[in-house]
Amino acid sequence: MGLIQAAVGAIGGTLADQWKDFYTVPGGLPSTAALFAAVPQGTNAGRGSNTKGSSNIITNGSKIVVPEGYGLLLFQDGKITGFVAEPGAYEWRSDDLNSSSIFAGNGFVSPLIMQSWERFKFGGQPGSQQAAFFVSLKELPDNRFGTQSEIYWDDGFLNTQVGAVTRGSYTLKIVDPILFVKNFVPATYLQTGQVFNFTDMDNAAASQLFNEVVGSLAPAFSLYTNDPGKGNRITKLQQDSLGFAKSLSDAVEQAYQWKSDRGLAIVKTAIVSIEYDANTRELLKTVQRADALSGSRGNSNLQASVAQGIQSAGETGGAAGLVGVGMASGMLGAVGGLQQPATPAAPAADDPIGKLKKAKEMLEMGLITQADYDALKAKALGL
């Protein structure tokens, strides 16, 4: 009975596999699908007779359509035999006996009789395995990362170790499909009906990538903030998706050899949030204050402070208060890179000439108005 079933199966499978197939992308794929098998269309609008062909045999003359943004990997008995990176329609050709077809010009005796005999030896099924897989060459989005507790790194901007809790996402690209399949994709995904998806939580290989990215975040932050080309600015991280992506890609490459061993690379990042620890927040506040008191901005802040001091002096200490303000502005001019020129030491409080000289200098510097000067002059001369 077994021999009869094998014979019937060998003949039936041989006849079914004589038909040419039309292979294309399966329907219902998620946008983050990275690798999946090409499938025969079988029927189109109810037309088509090739519905019983072998699942692991591709008949010579069959067409495989490669859409934009995808590559095509060809397999023969588990080995990669070809790769196509250009979109278009391609015709399958193989020297394997199981691919021979009377419709592909391979004669009549060989495709029918010899195939049936060879398949009979394997219980009626073909003794070969052929497959075509599509691999995405696009950026694959929505790969997320995040830390549950603070990570710490040596920060070139703050010149100390800082810590933060962060989360975000990145886009991933397969830059070497052959390396990716050979060294990273588990065998379970090299079957018809399976889809390798980086965002699938049940995909153990994808989960490993997530863990490696989290483990690379601290070195990536350190690479970014210690790069003079980035201005050593930690505050630029959330605005520089490409710059930080390079730092993160370099960090995972150094630690896990993503590109050289797996054919993978991080292209872009989007940092959703960075929550610094208390010490880092205080350091950032100090740096912001220092930035506000440097350069031309510092001049503006100083002049505003002096003007406020003049107003207060007029309300409380009169001309003597103004002399104190002059001394303070002179001292601040020597600190923090401020451009305000220092004023000479204040004259004695009872020296009217010194007071008038000081008021005249402040008038020329634009720190007081003519009306202020006239009022000080009148008070100093007792008018």
Is 243 in the same domain as 357?
no
**Torsion angle in degrees (nearest 10) through CA of 258, 259, 263, 264:** 60
191 found inside a domain: no
Mean pLDDT of 268-289: 86
Q: Show Cβ contacts of residue 139 under 8 Å, excluding neighbours closer than 6 positions.
A: 171, 172, 173, 267, 268
Is 147 in the same domain as 277?
yes
What is the domain range of residue 38?
A: 2-136
Last residue of a domain, one of 267, 284, 301: 284
Is 247 in the same domain as 202?
yes
The overall average pLDDT reported for the chain is 74
> How confident is the model over 6-41, as pLDDT tens digits?
343 444 444 344 445 668 888 888 888 999 998 887
Is 70 in the same domain as 119?
yes
Q: What is the pTM of this model?
A: 0.62
Cα angle value 315/320/321 (rounded, 5°): 50
Q: How far is CA 35 from CA 111, 127, 251, 342, in A?
A: 32, 25, 25, 70
Residue 3 pLDDT level (bands cut at 50, 70, 90): very low
Side-by-side strand order, sheet with 22-24: 39-40, 22-24, 63-66, 88-91
In this predicted structure, what is the pLDDT of residue 231?
63
C-alpha count within 13 angstroms, C-beta hemisphere, residue 346: 19
Domain count, the chain: 3
336 found inside a domain: yes
Is 99 in the same domain as 164?
no
> How confident is the model over 42-76, as pLDDT tens digits?
544 344 455 555 556 676 677 888 899 999 898 88
And the tokens for 281? 């927040």
189 found inside a domain: no
Q: How far is CA 239 from CA 7, 178, 205, in A?
A: 68, 34, 30
Helix (H) or strand (E) holding 72: strand 70-76
Is 262 in the same domain as 324?
no
219 found inside a domain: yes
